Structure 1
Amino acid sequence: MRVGIDCRLPYYQIGGISQYTLFLIQALAQLDGDSEYRIYHSRKDSQDYTPADDRFWRRSLWTPCHHRLERWSLALELLPERLDVFHSPDFIPPAGGASRRIITVHDLNFHYFPEFLTAESRRYYNDQIAWAVQAADAISADSEHTRQDLIRLLAIPPAKVQTIHLSVNPVYQAPAIAADVAATLARLGLAPGFILFVGTMEPRKNIPTLLQAYALARADHGVRVPLVLVGRRGWLYEEIFATIEALKLREHVVHLDQFDNQSLAHLYHSAGLLALPSHYEGFGLPPLEAMNCGCPVVTSDRGSLPEIVGPAGPLLSPDDVDLWAETLARILADGAERERLIAAGRQQAARFSWTRAAEETRRLYQGL
């Protein structure tokens, strides 16, 4: 079997989908088998993401990601390759160019929160995704929640969609080196035990509710540790910083914009807990990263978060400020409860691995 995998996106942006693509390719290379894999890079990309394995070949493409004519241009480029399967990890498959096409759908943010997209992005997602899910021969979804969304909202036959859970960057699974963790904290002026949030500064992350709960936890429950927000500024982030000012939290909230994986792992290892009150997550990598690092997790009960966290942490309504404040304070103050959540989190995190994701993805290829 000759399988093509679209690996153009890492040239344009290194985000969650790019990391998913790269780690999946690496995991596929660790499996036995005689399938041939062609890894399609952007022609502009000098990086080589192709494993050093005789079954894997680098190919280059002219077609840019997210171009309005992408599906047709890509099909023409792929036609001479004679592919049995082409996998599009970034939603959109070519209009042809392979006997079978698989796409991965990571979430349906564009459906739930169209108001947070530009008009151009709305047109792109509404037109392209609606076409893509119908054109694909099979779909992998990052979570069962996203799979059910596809079935319910886009009328996709259940047999066409398979849930394949992701895993995390291996840096979050490595043991912490105490001296390195201490050096990161010293550089940032932090002490262990802080409340941590990780995610883009945007409305669906529901950060104002977290800020209100944090202010209440300080006022009514004696919490004195800082709140550390890690993430870039996204759409409509201004309300977040206005809320910090309105609640007089400027001296108690730390915002860290761009952050490398190793330093973030150090924060997970030293945080008192991770708090994620999102209105919606298609998968939710930060809770899984945190659980791997031995950081207790408190999340909302929306989207895929209950599926990812399972029994390893409190699942709260994202709108209940009082409950969030009480829960944050209780976990920070109760050492035995923290240890219980840490142990449960590590056990839950062990259910997710790139090896398992690669095995299930390969079966999806072979089943077409």
Structure 2
Amino acid sequence: MRIGFDAKRFFLNKTGLGNYSRDLVRILEKYVPENEYIKYTTKTGNYDIKDPNLEKTTRLPEGFINTRWPNLWRRRRIVHDLKKDNIDIFHGLSGEIPSGLAKAAIKSIVTIHDLIFMRHPELYHPIDRWIYKKKFRHACTAADRIIAISECTKNDIIDLFHIPENKIDVVYQGCHESFKTVKSEEQKRTIKEKLGLPQEFLLNVGTIEARKNILPVVKAIKDLAIPLVVVGKPTRYHQEVIEYIEQNKMENKVYFFQGLEMEELAILYAAATIFIYPSIYEGFGIPIIEALYSGTPVITSKMGVFPEAGGPSSCYVDPMDISQIHDAIKSLLQDTGKRKEMSKKGLEFVQKFNDDRVAQRMSAIYSAL
């Protein structure tokens, strides 16, 4: 089969949707090489399009109209190129597919990551909510199949867009290979020295925004002898966190970083004493998976998708309850045996998200179409 991908996020997003797109394409190319995979994008960002392998499997808009209005090409005119390339199935990796695929006899699949903009509309500008809702509703209605990245997201699609359950398949996200290799004590020592970190620390990874909800953790460690390391891009919410830190003289207890290389980040996960992820809502929560693969015990939110991602051996708390977060951290810090047990059982649980299983599941869906 010839599979075409909407690869805008593959090339232009460094985290989130970009990681999902790159990991899925990598997994399919490795485990199901009998198919051909073509990536369609308006730009290639920092990627070297002259790389022979990338050049062979990447398509950019051509001609005056398509290059002058690349978003029009992505939304509609791309179908002409898909037909020319004899694409059997087009897969929208980030909640969108172009119009006209059915008329061109091209099967379609769309991956829906989450419907946060509908579950928590207060976090989005009204215009953005309107655009997302229009795009996602069209994709869910027009696509032949829908991939939900979790059971939680599947239920949201059914509930909010009234899509029949039998049209939706759940395929969990893969995870970058860097998190799956055992890190040496020397590697851990080196990253801590480079970043100026103490021997033990809590780790949180993700954009520093209200939905990710890191402020309650900062408040929870105020009287605990453990620092917090936060890796992520700051937003306006970051200033609220900084203000609390300054008011309570916690500058030496909270470290902020961004822009780490993937291998550095993976070593940091493995070096952390506990990974904490108090997010209010996610489509899946890939940082939880990264922590489990790294052998690091996880504290996360008890509602929504988080138990689905964290499994039976992670620790679950009310993300808004500061005392509950405080007690969970304190308890695990005092119980080395419990942390080791969580690490061992978490690593066993996370094998369900291995690349070969993702590839097998996705390949079966393509073949059925």
Distance 2:162 2:52 in 1: 37
How far did residue 181 of structure 1 move?
Answer: 1.9
Task: Report whether the alignment pairs 1:8 with 2:11.
Answer: no
Contact conserved, 1:202 with 1:233, CA < 8 A, in 2? yes
Match of 2:192 among 185, 192, 214: 185
Distance 1:225 1:43 in 2: 44
2:203 corresponds to: 196
Deviations 1:119-166 (A, max 9, x none): 442232021112111111111011111111111111111011110011
2:272 corresponds to: 271
How far did residue 44 of structure 1 move?
Answer: 4.8
Contact conserved, 2:204 with 2:277, CA < 8 A, in 1? yes
Distance change >3 Å, CA 76–CA 246, structure 1 → 2: farther
Deviations 1:12-70 (A, max 9, x none): 222221222222122212235643332324455553599959xx843333569994774
Root-mean-square deviation (Å): 2.4
TM-score in terms of structure 2 length: 0.90
Structure 2, gaps ≥5 residues long: none
Distance 1:164 1:39 in 2: 20
Contact conserved, 2:42 with 2:70, CA < 8 A, in 1? no
1:128 corresponds to: 135
How far did residue 340 of structure 1 move?
Answer: 0.8
Deviations 1:65-87 (A, max 9, x none): 99477422333443433322100
2:97 corresponds to: 93
How far did residue 258 of structure 1 move?
Answer: 2.3
Map residues 138-153 of structure 1 onto 2, 5 A cutoff: 138-153=145-160
Distance 2:325 2:52 in 1: 45
Deviations 1:199-224 (A, max 9, x none): 11111111121122112xx2xxxx31
2:298 corresponds to: 297
Distance 1:136 1:49 in 2: 33
Contact conserved, 1:276 with 1:299, CA < 8 A, in 2? yes
1:155 corresponds to: 162
Distance 1:235 1:157 in 2: 39
Task: Report whether the alignment pairs 1:28 with 2:35.
Answer: no
Contact conserved, 2:24 with 2:174, CA < 8 A, in 1? no
Distance 1:196 1:35 in 2: 39
Task: Report whether the alignment pairs 1:113 with 2:117.
Answer: no
Q: Partner letter of residue 169 of structure 1?
A: H
TM-score in terms of structure 1 length: 0.90
Distance change >3 Å, CA 51–CA 285, structure 1 → 2: farther
Contact conserved, 1:26 with 1:51, CA < 8 A, in 2? no
- Three-state SS of the structure 1 residue aligned to 2:353 is coil
2:213 corresponds to: 206
Contact conserved, 2:3 with 2:36, CA < 8 A, in 1? yes
Contact conserved, 2:297 with 2:342, CA < 8 A, in 1? yes
Map residues 1-368 of structure 1 onto 2, 5 A cutoff: 1-32=1-32, 34-42=34-42, 44=44, 46-47=47-48, 57-61=57-61, 67=71, 70-97=74-101, 99-215=106-222, 218=223, 223-368=224-369
Contact conserved, 2:11 with 2:43, CA < 8 A, in 1? no
Contact conserved, 1:11 with 1:42, CA < 8 A, in 2? no
Deviations 1:248-281 (A, max 9, x none): 3222111112222212112211111011111111
How far did residue 246 of structure 1 move?
Answer: 3.2
Distance 2:228 2:357 in 1: 35
Distance change >3 Å, CA 235–CA 155, structure 1 → 2: farther
Distance change >3 Å, CA 50–CA 296, structure 1 → 2: farther
Distance 1:51 1:23 in 2: 20
Q: Partner letter of residue 78 of structure 1?
A: L
Aligned residues: 360
**Identical-pair percentage:** 29
Deviations 1:100-135 (A, max 9, x none): 110001111211233333444223202111211111
Distance 2:50 2:156 in 1: 32
Distance change >3 Å, CA 254–CA 118, structure 1 → 2: same
Contact conserved, 1:212 with 1:247, CA < 8 A, in 2? no
Q: Partner letter of residue 249 of structure 1?
A: M
Q: Partner letter of residue 333 of structure 1?
A: Q
